[in-house]
Structures are given as structure tokens and as C-alpha cells.
Amino acid sequence: MAVTIGALVERAAGETRASLVPEVAEKFAAAGARVLLERGVAVGAQFPDALFRKVEWADGADAVLAQADVLLTVQPPTLAAIGKLKAGAVVVGFMQAHARAAEVKAMQQRRITSFAMEFVPRISRAQSMDALSSQAAVAGYKAVLIAANTLDRFLPMLTTAAGTIRPAQVLIVGVGVAGLQAIATAKRLGAIVEAYDVRSATREQVKSLGAKFIDTGVSAEGAGGYARELTDEERKRQQEVLDARIAAADAVITTAAVPGRKAPRIVSRAAVERMKAGAVVVDIAAESGGNCELTRAGETVLHGGVRIVGPVNLPAQLAYHASEMYARNLYNFLKPAIGRDGQLAIDWNDEVFAQSCLTHDGAIRHEATRKAVEG
Ligand code: NAI
């Protein structure tokens, strides 16, 4: 029988994104799946129901949960939703497993097969499924716009009848996917851009975007292309060089993260106090503890004339395109598991499915999560 793919209106506070958009729903239908949706499923992302073709509309959320073989989500499923899913159903979405022990246990007990988009391996073949990257790019872009909007200055150089305006200096700290998009966006707006990352491999990427790489003499390549934690000595050296660049900046965008750990502290209170009046820090890492000592998630803090913005869920502020990219990531992830007859058949020898699996068949398959949940 054809697989039933379901999606609901996201219920988490502030979540405007959707797990399915019309273009992708149609692709699932073309692949032979039955698509069953709750009314208003993507209205928060500005996709009215009328745009969806070749889908069925369920009589409420519970009807979707009762029938779905595969539930697509943005945020992790709630305990209530998990309780209403068919035993053995599949859930695919961001799972935030480190913070959702109860949900993980519930999915284990109900023999739900869950796939965490955060755990999709970052191999070339899986780039089109990489939801961390697609959403990080949105965050990097939006962070620069927030900085531009918060500043009482221009970003570009302007030559006007009233004289020449000097371009703003923007500093990007952390050059992963979000940082690269932040550099590109700030450049497009005409700012002078400097960037810094502990991974020296980013130097060439920064330069190729026309920005200047700040050399602190500290390199911290870790496993799998991610950063490792720094030693105290390295941190001190990094800090001295960076503090001078922070003081010179009109806007600082921080995006630094180390997987599974609290965000590294990079912008101290003292460094903020050396910044000029009217300068702005936009801290993308606000939700994981913040790269700036003064960041408060979800708030804008005014400290001695400097604004420190701590946005939460930035992708939800650009929900249309964030949803479009996310839904495509989900499709690219699931498509190999949909057979010619529209049936679901997961190849457990495929490292993408194996590594992104959180729970399956009554077990927690993701090792780090299993240790954290089961002790
Ligand atoms: P992330 O969100 O984990 O971290 C953001 C950035 O912060 C990283 O570049 C990291 O090096 C940097 N950082 C950590 N501690 C820092 C510190 N103390 N000071 C300054 N910077 C610090 O990174 P993201 O965006 O998830 O990318 C991580 C890696 O994965 C990168 O190497 C990226 O190129 C790679 N990647 C590979 C893909 C693929 O091959 N399919 C797709 C996407 C990313």
C-alpha cells in the first residue's frame, strides 16, 4: 500500500515554519505517496491551503496522527502527538534529542522510528538533505539584516552631496554555514567585512567572499570538520587579537558553535565596553548559551550604548524560504525510501538512514542520546 505522509501545523511558540510546502507535497504525490495534511499546515509560512495540489485534507490533527505512516515535522513531536501516532510509525524532523529525553523515551516505548535531521551525516551525497545547513544559511542572512536594522548607520559607503559616508565595519565570528552567509550578506550591503574562525580551513573561504580573515595564530580543527574546544592558553591569545577587532566594529555577528556543547564565550562584557556607542552585537548562538557574555536569548540588551541582540529561531523569521528549503531537505532524505509502488522501504545499510536514526524498533539507536537518556 502507498505510504501515507502526514504533516501538521507546527504548534511550538514562535514556530512559523512548515515541514511541507506545495511544491514538495506534489513531489511526494508524484513519487506514489498519499499526502495527508492538517488544514492550515503551512499558512504560518505564507503557503495557503489552496496552493496544495494532489493532497488530502484530514479532519483535524488527530486524524493525521492516526493515519500517517510518516509524520514530517519541523520541531520535535510533542508527547501528546507521539501518543496518538500508530505504533511503528516514522517521524522525521529536528529532534533536539539532547533536550528531549521524555519524548525520546516515549518514541522508544511506542516503537516509533524517528530520524533526526540534525544527525544526517555531512557527506557529499547528503548535502541536499542537510537541514542544519539550509536553516543556518537563513539565520546568517537574517542576522545581518537585524544588525543593519538595529544600527543607526549605513552599511555601504555613500558618496552624496552632503559628503562621503564611510562604510560600516562588520565582524563575523564563526565561519560555518551561517557565518559564510552572513559574510556574503554584509558584503552585498556594502560593509567592510572581517571574519574569524578557529578552523584555519575557513581562511580561504573568507577571502573568496572578499572579506578579511583575522589571524589570531590559533587553529583548532576538530573531528569531522568541526571545531574542538580551545585550551586556556589558546583562548587567551585568541581573545587579545579579537577584542581589538570587536572594539573597531560597528556590528559583530557571532555564530560560533561546538557540537553538543554550550556555545563558546567570545565577546566578553569588557570587550562590549570597548565598543563604540551605537554598535550592535547579533548573537546567533543565543539559544545555546550565547557567544557574548551579555546576551539574553529572545531579548535585546542595551549596555553602555551597545545593543546586544539575542534572537531565537531566526529561520522562523524567514519562514517562506526556510520552509521551502527544509521541505526539500525532507523530500531528498525520504525519497530513496519510497519504492516504485509508493511503499516505504528503509535501507538500513544506507549510512544516511543508519546515522540519523534516533529510535527504532523499541531501541534508542543514536549512541550519545542512548547514553544520556538511559545512563
Ligand atoms: P557550527 O554551527 O557547528 O559552528 C559554526 C562555526 O563556529 C564553525 O565554523 C566553528 O569552527 C566555529 N567556532 C567554534 N568555536 C569557535 C571559537 N571559539 N571561535 C571562533 N569560531 C568558532 O558549524 P556548521 O555551520 O554546522 O559547519 C561545521 C562544519 O561542517 C564546517 O566545516 C562546514 O564546512 C562543514 N559542513 C560540511 C557540509 C558537507 O560537506 N555536506 C555541509 C555543511 C557544513
CB atoms within 10 A of CB 225: 10
Gap from CA of 62 to ligand 1 centroid (Å) = 39
> Does 135 qualify as catalytic in the annotation?
no
Calpha distance 85→64 (Å, rounded): 9
131 lines ligand 1 (CB under 6 A): no
Domains 4-129+320-374 and 137-312 equal at CATH topology level: yes
- What's the CATH fold of domain 137-312? Rossmann fold (3.40.50)
The CB of 239 under 6 Å from ligand 1? The reply is: no
The closest-lying atom of ligand 1 relative to the alpha carbon of residue 225 is: 32
Residue whose Cα lies nearest atom 2 of ligand 1: it is 257
pLDDT tens for the chain, residues 1 to 375: 899 999 999 999 999 999 999 999 999 999 999 999 999 999 999 999 999 999 999 999 999 999 999 999 999 999 999 999 998 999 999 999 999 999 999 999 999 999 999 999 999 999 999 999 999 999 999 999 999 999 999 999 999 999 999 999 999 999 999 999 999 999 999 999 999 998 889 999 999 999 999 998 877 777 777 777 878 988 888 899 999 999 999 999 999 988 778 999 999 999 999 999 999 999 999 999 999 999 999 999 999 999 999 999 999 999 999 999 999 999 999 999 999 889 999 999 999 999 999 999 999 999 999 999 987
Q: What is the radius of gyration, based on Cα positions, of the chain?
A: 22
Q: How far apart are CA 142 and CA 315, in angstroms?
A: 8
Q: Considering only CA atoms, which residue is closest to atom 38 of ligand 1?
A: 122
- The residues, ordered by sequence, that sit 6+ positions from 266 with a Cβ below 8 Å of its Cβ are 173, 239, 242, 254, 256, 291, 292
Contacts 24+ apart (CB under 8 A), 197-200: 197/173, 197/227, 197/256, 198/227, 198/230, 198/238, 198/256, 199/175, 199/225, 199/227
From the list 298, 297, 238, the residue with the least C-alpha distance to 271 is: 238
Over the stretch 130-183, which tens digit does the pLDDT of each residue have? 999 999 999 999 999 999 999 999 999 999 999 999 999 999 999 999 999 999
Ligand 1 lined by 226 (C-beta under 6 Å): yes
**200 flagged as catalytic:** no
Residue 64 has what pLDDT?
98
Q: Does domain 4-129+320-374 have CATH number 3.40.50.720?
A: yes
**Residue ranges per domain, the chain?**
4-129+320-374, 137-312
Integer Cα distance of 295 and 307 in angstroms: 10
Rounded Cα–Cα distance for residues 191 and 156 (Å): 5
Q: How far apart are CA 308 and CA 111, in angstroms?
A: 44
The set of cell numbers assigned to 120 is 544526517
